[in-house]
């Protein structure tokens, strides 16, 4: 049993095709993340990748500027419930509603914990252009 759903073989996915898609999802080095990093690097910025901004918080940011205390999260529209693009799945609807809800709560908690420690937190949606995202990051870095 996985979060209230019976296992289907070795997986809780609703079908083998869904399982294959889910296995292909990356937690780091996604296309939007790589595009943003490339743009920032080409402008001379150096950063850490997939790091904990604060060692006492068990959360990793996609891009971390330690000295400036800026943490950047590139959030997927599905996994983080983008108000513009998120479409709740029909299959296993209750599971996904709870899962995405937990992600939103965790994101808000991460923002609060990091800000309380003096960090600037930037959340970028995967649908934003690398140029727009980089502009937000550069603006935050210049203020720090």
Residue-wise pLDDT for 49-70, tens only, equals: 999 999 999 999 999 999 999 9
Which of the two residues, 2 and 43, has the higher pLDDT score? 43
Q: Cα separations (Å) of 8 from 12, 18, 126, 142? A: 5, 12, 31, 51
Mind listing the pLDDT tens digit for each residue in 63-111?
999 999 999 999 999 999 999 999 989 999 999 999 999 999 999 999 9
pLDDT of residue 3: 45
CATH of 26-143, one of 3.40.50.720, 3.40.50.1820, 3.40.960.10, 3.20.20.150: 3.40.960.10
Phi, psi of 113 (to 5 degrees): -65, -45
pLDDT of residue 12: 55
- The span from the CA of 134 to the CA of 45, in Å, is 10
Element (H, E) at 92: none
pLDDT of residue 144: 80
- The span from the CA of 75 to the CA of 11, in Å, is 25
Mind listing the pLDDT tens digit for each residue in 2-26?
444 444 455 555 566 555 545 556 5
pLDDT of residue 59: 96
Q: Kindly list the domain boundaries of the chain, sorted by start residue.
A: 26-143
């Amino acid at each position: 049993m996985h979060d209230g759903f019976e296992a289907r073989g070795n997986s809780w996915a609703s079908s083998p095709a869904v399982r294959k898609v889910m296995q292909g999802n990356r937690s780091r080095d996604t296309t939007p993340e790589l595009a943003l990093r490339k743009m920032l690097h080409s402008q001379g910025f150096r950063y850490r990748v997939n790091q904990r901004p604060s060692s006492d918080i068990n959360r990793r940011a996609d891009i971390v500027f330690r000295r400036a205390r800026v943490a950047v999260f590139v959030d997927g529209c599905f996994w983080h419930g983008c108000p513009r693009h998120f479409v709740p799945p029909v299959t296993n609807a209750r599971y996904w509603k709870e899962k995405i809800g937990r992600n939103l709560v965790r994101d808000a908690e991460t923002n609060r914990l990091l800000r309380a420690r003096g960090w600037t937190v930037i959340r970028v949606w995967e649908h934003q252009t690398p140029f727009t995202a980089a502009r937000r990051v550069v603006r935050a870095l210049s203020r720090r």
